[in-house]
Amino acid sequence: MTRSATRAHEPRWCDSCGRAIEWRAKWARDWDAVRYCSDRCRRERPGTTDRALEAAIVELLATRSTGATICPSEAARQVGTDDWRALMESARRAARRLVVAGRVEITQGGVVVDPSTARGPIRIRAVHTVDEPTRQRRRRR
């Protein structure tokens, strides 16, 4: 069977790091049961620190104005006061999990990017809902 003849597989995201999981032929029989993208993610499942980072991101964004962003380091500083640098990758992973949950967006240079492929500095902002009131600026005349 050629590549074009294979059926499309629904996208999946890693429960640990939040990255997209690429379909592989070895997972054909149990694709619906795949939860982790790698052995490392299977070993390093989210724990209490990871949940605290997710909560810190949501809390920090709730205190900011609509459309404001935060750096993952702000959540890392809030959770791990002295050793916050060791939590930076965990904070990025927490942000990716929140993207999958539909609660935040990850941006670079003000543009929403794919969290699975984003490299370098990122910013996190809350996803705006239709029900959420928006602030309108007055025009100066």
Residues 91 and 74 in one domain: yes
Instruction: Give me the number of domains the chain comprises.
Output: 2
Task: Please tell me the predicted confidence (pLDDT) of residue 130.
Answer: 57
Residues 61 and 91 in one domain: yes
Task: Please tell me the predicted confidence (pLDDT) of residue 82.
Answer: 84
pLDDT in tens, 105-114: 999 998 999 8
Q: Mark 12-29 as b/e (b = at least 16 C-beta within 10 Å).
A: bbbbbbbbebeeeeeeee
Axis crossing angle, helix 88-100 with helix 48-63, rounded to the nearest 10: 70
Determine the average pLDDT of the residues in 68-76: 93
CATH code for the domain in which residue 91 is found:
1.10.10.10
DSSP 69-135: EE-HHHHHHHHSSSSGGGGHHHHHHHHHHHHHTTSEEEEETTEE--TTT--S--EEEEPPPTTS---
- Phi (first) and psi of residue 24, to 5 degrees: -130, 145
pLDDT in tens, 12-31: 888 777 878 877 787 778 77
What's the rounded Cα separation, in Å, for the pair 69 and 74?
11
Task: Please tell me the predicted confidence (pLDDT) of residue 35.
Answer: 81
Residues 119 and 76 in one domain: yes
Q: Is the dihedral of CA 21, 24, 27, 30 positive or negative?
A: positive
Beta pairing partners, 108: 111
Give residue 140's pLDDT band: very low, low, confident or very high (50, 70, 90): very low
Question: How is residue 12 annotated by DSSP?
Answer: E
Give residue 139's pLDDT band: very low, low, confident or very high (50, 70, 90): very low
Residues 30 and 68 in one domain: no
Task: Please tell me the predicted confidence (pLDDT) of residue 106.
Answer: 93
Find the domain containing 53 and state its range: 48-126
Determine the average pLDDT of the residues in 101-108: 92
